Structure 1
Amino acid sequence: MKKAYSSTMLVLLAMLLILSGCAGQSSSDSSGEGGPKTQINFMHWRGEDKAVLDAIITEFEKENPDITVEMTIYPSDQYMATAQRMLQEGSTGDVFTSFPGAQFESLQSAGVFEDLTDEAFVSNFDENLISVGQKDGKQLALPYQLVFNMPVYNKGMFDELGLEVPKSWTEFQELCDTLLENGITPIAFPGADIGPNQFMNSMMMNNAPDEEIFAKLQSGEEKLTNEWWVKTLEDFQLLEQKGYIQKDALGTNQDAAMQMVASEEAAMLATGSYHMASLIGLNPDLQLDLLAPITVEEDEAQYEGINTATFMLAVNSNSEKKEQAKKFIEFLSQPEMASKYANETGQHLTVNDVKYESDVLKDTAYWIDERKTRFQPRFLITNAQVEDAVLSSIEDVLGGTAPMDAAAAAQKIVDENKE
């Protein structure tokens, strides 16, 4: 009898374990006091923002006790390669982020963006900065960050050496020569992971001031073998040949390049404003600002720098939790939460009424309204194969290929992918 009773209890215990295991895998579970909770997934590529986003998520969950937020973070290159497949499956990314340009166009074609046009929280954003997330009259994504994709420079070092921000290609070369004479590498270039993705924008902005240049390239009206791109490649070649970027630049990763600037071994970092907070974290004594190489003479220059509205927040059209996902984006766009994110990550934002408190953000805010900046040209390339060809031609030149040869090889790929 005892044996039969014991066997029955074992069977009941096993059934309870199975049922509890199933409950743990559900996206909607019950939590004693709060009742049913719906879990949404927030998918993005900004690993460096995890701590502040964790804190914001905690605040969100306090205000919305029926919702929990799980965060999934991928390296940016992996995110570019795999986000579309994961979003189409619908198993992750109820809220997700998108890069402008080729990824936005690809995700739009795949139909994964939920239309946010009529959502009240859209008015929380500066309408002049969110057009990059629009398609066919619909607001499909909301850019959160306002980034300046041009080199960060050590302002304190410049002041000590009596250096001024150059206003022409001649002055830029003179600046770099002075830095070399003082034992300082002018530009730390993270070629192993970031590559020329950011630096290409300021290097070409005045060589090809036509903002339709890449649309014309993809339609066949322009070619990479024309002067505007060959000159850009020649300018990159000059940087390498004169030692203005470090040796083995293509083998240097982001962390190593940042350390060069933090230790004052290098004067400039060829990435963008999004790395300023991290540099201050490595060396709190740094005084930083932004500059873009002017690759023409002063009277020919039309632009002073590069801007990008990016980290575009979106709701997955394949999600079964769209309303909860929209609540999370609305929360992120509240001025108090946006200010917290901005100041703790060192990012300017597209949200209205953000209060910037950090010295880095205050000191560089003049770039928003006072300087002539251009939207990042790379993100206006809507075909991923064409984008890869353009970037690869720069890497080829830095690796020793003649500029015209690199341009011709890239143009072949462009021709194969002509719109």
Structure 2
Amino acid sequence: MCKIYKKWVSIRTKPTFLYNLDSLFNGKCIFVMIRFLHQNTNRRDKQMKKRLISALLGTALAATTVCGMSASAEEITFWNVQAEGYDLEIINEAVEKFNSTTESGYTVVNVPTQNDAYKEKLVIAMSSGECPDMYSHWSGGPMIEYIESGFAQDITEQFNSTDLPERLMPASISQATYNDKIYAVPYNDISISGIYYNKTIFADLGLEVPTTIGELEAVCDTLVENGIVPFALANSTKWTGSMYFMNLATRYGGLEPFEKAVAGEGSFEDECFIWAGEKIQEWVQKGYFPEGVNALSEDDGQARQLLYTGEAAMTCIGSWYTQTIKSDSEEFFDENIGWFKFPAYEGAPDVDDSIIVGTVGDNFISFNCEGEKLDAAIEFASLLVGDEMVEFAAERGRMKPVNGVEKNATEPVTQAIMEAVSNASSIQLWYDQYLPPAVANAHLDGLQEVFGLTKTPAEAQAMMQEAMEAYNAES
């Protein structure tokens, strides 16, 4: 068995890193705050026992799906979540290109899996001492687990021997770095949350794009009056509901309450988090979300089906939705879909509303191989962010995290997204990727109950704060 468990110390012991992206967007400065939490290994055996029991007992059936290890020494197995649509097309194109041109003697075998099933599959694989040659993840806390487990190799030397340091955005490299060493290659997208909306519905009802939450609520009220669900949300996967919570909390309090809560200098029971939960429950009660929202599946496309049928007018989600919708129906996307950043809260005029929630890189490849196989795997990862694949992906709505990528933004939605990125003062990494897994789970579980009206926001935030305090106390 391998150890995949970690212990983080309070981030009070670490400085805040601000990455200047002034080279990206016409000389404008963007600062992306990433905090990496150090690990202390005193409780490894104890944590390993707890989580291993949970993984093996709670997901025994899923263990049968663990497969895809290299069938031969000449094959490089690549696990990822690019399982459908343009995402799958982009990876398949890269695999075909690599396999037909490489002189390494290796071929890449693509093993895609749906998002939520993938996370479970990867934990089980590592818990059983198995792992593919290379695999995608979302950086943040989970990456530190993979590093400490021994399943994510230090690739600093190989990385620096390529053109990747000059090609990739500094912020994306920083998310792949831990203790001054590089452990992953960012390859997928600049992903930020925002609101996709149906322009046709807005035009038919005489609605304008809202710039404040008050204006957004007025839009929602008009939609409800006309029998249209304001927000398409499928929250059985939990993280989708977090999109609304993160944006509301950030618009109310900025970054500081979250930073202090994680550092142990504040609390997740701060008024900004309570307010965000209360606002969500108010919206649930006013009919802003679909009936049975917690039973609907994002992976099955139930949220966007509400958009396609005109039953819902908007959705707050990551910018990967551009290619998701286009791959379903490019005609529908071109004729109907617009995008705007999450509106400002007029009750907090001093909060910077240019802050966006998201990530620069989205998915990252880490490596569980060595020698010539590792060299070949990094060659493939480099190809994924090479000029041809950057252009290929941009044509399908994906903006890979490379310098100068904004020049590939040719359609209005992607241009609006890139403008929001270029104007952002800071980017808040997704809560469920930033936080220790135990705290992230407490956040997602409690928030789902907030949407279901089975917990009050105060109860949900107390649960989250308790998990954070327990984690800090053990560090």
Q: TM-score, length-normalised on structure 2?
A: 0.74
SS at match of 1:417: helix
Look up the equivalent residue of 1:262 and give its one-letter code. Y
- Alpha-carbon offset, residue 246 of structure 1: 1.5
Q: For 1:200 and 1:316, locate their aligned partners in 2 and report how far apart those are by CA, in whole Å.
A: 35
SS at match of 1:165: coil
- Alpha-carbon offset, residue 76 of structure 1: 1.9
Q: What corresponds to 1:202 in structure 2?
A: 247
Contact 2:228 2:312 in 1 (8 A): yes
- Alpha-carbon offset, residue 165 of structure 1: 2.7
Q: For 2:71 and 2:452, locate their aligned partners in 1 and report how far apart those are by CA, in whole Å.
A: 51
- Alpha-carbon offset, residue 72 of structure 1: 1.3
Q: What corresponds to 1:416 in structure 2?
A: 470
> Which structure 2 residues correspond to residues 337-348 of structure 1 after superposition, within 5 A?
337-344=389-396, 346-348=397-399
Q: What corresponds to 1:289 in structure 2?
A: 339
Q: For 1:62 and 1:377, locate their aligned partners in 2 and report how far apart those are by CA, in whole Å.
A: 37
Q: What corresponds to 1:113 in structure 2?
A: 152
Q: Does 1:240 align with 2:284?
A: yes
SS at match of 2:317: coil
Q: Does 1:143 align with 2:179?
A: no
Please, which moves more after superposition, 191-200 or 325-334?
Answer: 191-200
Deviations 1:158-180 (A, max 9, x none): 34433233232222211211222
Contact 1:111 1:317 in 2 (8 A): no
- Alpha-carbon offset, residue 88 of structure 1: 7.6
Question: Structure 1 unaligned runs (5+)?
Answer: 1-24, 29-37
Q: What corresponds to 2:61 in structure 1?
A: none
Q: What corresponds to 1:51 in structure 2?
A: 89
- Alpha-carbon offset, residue 147 of structure 1: 0.5
Change (3 A) 1:109 1:92: closer
Q: What corresponds to 2:431 in structure 1?
A: 378
Q: What corresponds to 1:63 in structure 2?
A: 101
Q: What corresponds to 1:3 in structure 2?
A: none
Q: Percent identity?
A: 23
> Which structure 2 residues correspond to residues 254-273 of structure 1 after superposition, within 5 A?
254=298, 255-273=301-319
Change (3 A) 1:403 1:291: same
- Alpha-carbon offset, residue 188 of structure 1: 0.9
Q: What corresponds to 1:19 in structure 2?
A: none
Please, which moves more after superposition, 94-103 or 241-250?
Answer: 94-103
Change (3 A) 1:183 1:301: farther
Q: For 2:139 and 2:206, locate their aligned partners in 1 and report how far apart those are by CA, in whole Å.
A: 38
Q: For 2:113 and 2:215, locate their aligned partners in 1 and report how far apart those are by CA, in whole Å.
A: 40
Contact 2:125 2:131 in 1 (8 A): yes
Q: For 2:446 and 2:340, locate their aligned partners in 1 and report how far apart those are by CA, in whole Å.
A: 26
Contact 1:206 1:294 in 2 (8 A): yes
Q: What corresponds to 1:387 in structure 2?
A: 440
Please, which moves more after superposition, 165-174 or 39-48?
Answer: 165-174
Change (3 A) 1:216 1:79: farther
> Which structure 2 residues correspond to residues 287-326 of structure 1 after superposition, within 5 A?
287-297=337-347, 299-304=349-354, 305-309=356-360, 310-317=362-369, 321-326=373-378
Q: TM-score, length-normalised on structure 1?
A: 0.83
SS at match of 1:109: helix
Q: For 1:408 and 1:101, locate their aligned partners in 2 and report how far apart those are by CA, in whole Å.
A: 23
Q: For 1:415 and 1:368, locate their aligned partners in 2 and report how far apart those are by CA, in whole Å.
A: 33
Question: Structure 2 unaligned runs (5+)?
Answer: 1-69
Contact 1:167 1:294 in 2 (8 A): yes
For the pair shown, the structure with the greater C-alpha radius of gyration is: 1
> Which structure 2 residues correspond to residues 171-186 of structure 1 after superposition, within 5 A?
171-186=215-230
Q: Does 1:76 align with 2:115?
A: yes
- Alpha-carbon offset, residue 288 of structure 1: 2.2
SS at match of 1:163: coil
**Aligned alpha-carbon RMSD (Å):** 2.6
- Alpha-carbon offset, residue 338 of structure 1: 2.0
Q: For 2:230 and 2:112, locate their aligned partners in 1 and report how far apart those are by CA, in whole Å.
A: 33
Q: For 1:89 and 1:320, locate their aligned partners in 2 and report how far apart those are by CA, in whole Å.
A: 25
Matched residue pairs, number? Answer: 384
Contact 1:303 1:373 in 2 (8 A): no
- Alpha-carbon offset, residue 319 of structure 1: 8.0
SS at match of 2:241: coil
Look up the equivalent residue of 1:290 and give its one-letter code. F
Deviations 1:183-237 (A, max 9, x none): 22110111112442433321221223135x4453244322222212111111111
Please, which moves more after superposition, 151-160 or 199-208?
Answer: 151-160
- Alpha-carbon offset, residue 83 of structure 1: 1.9
Q: For 1:26 and 1:393, locate their aligned partners in 2 and report how far apart those are by CA, in whole Å.
A: 42
Q: For 1:215 and 1:105, locate their aligned partners in 2 and report how far apart those are by CA, in whole Å.
A: 19
- Alpha-carbon offset, residue 87 of structure 1: 5.2
Deviations 1:283-334 (A, max 9, x none): 3432321331434436234124323121012222568721111111121121
- Alpha-carbon offset, residue 266 of structure 1: 0.9
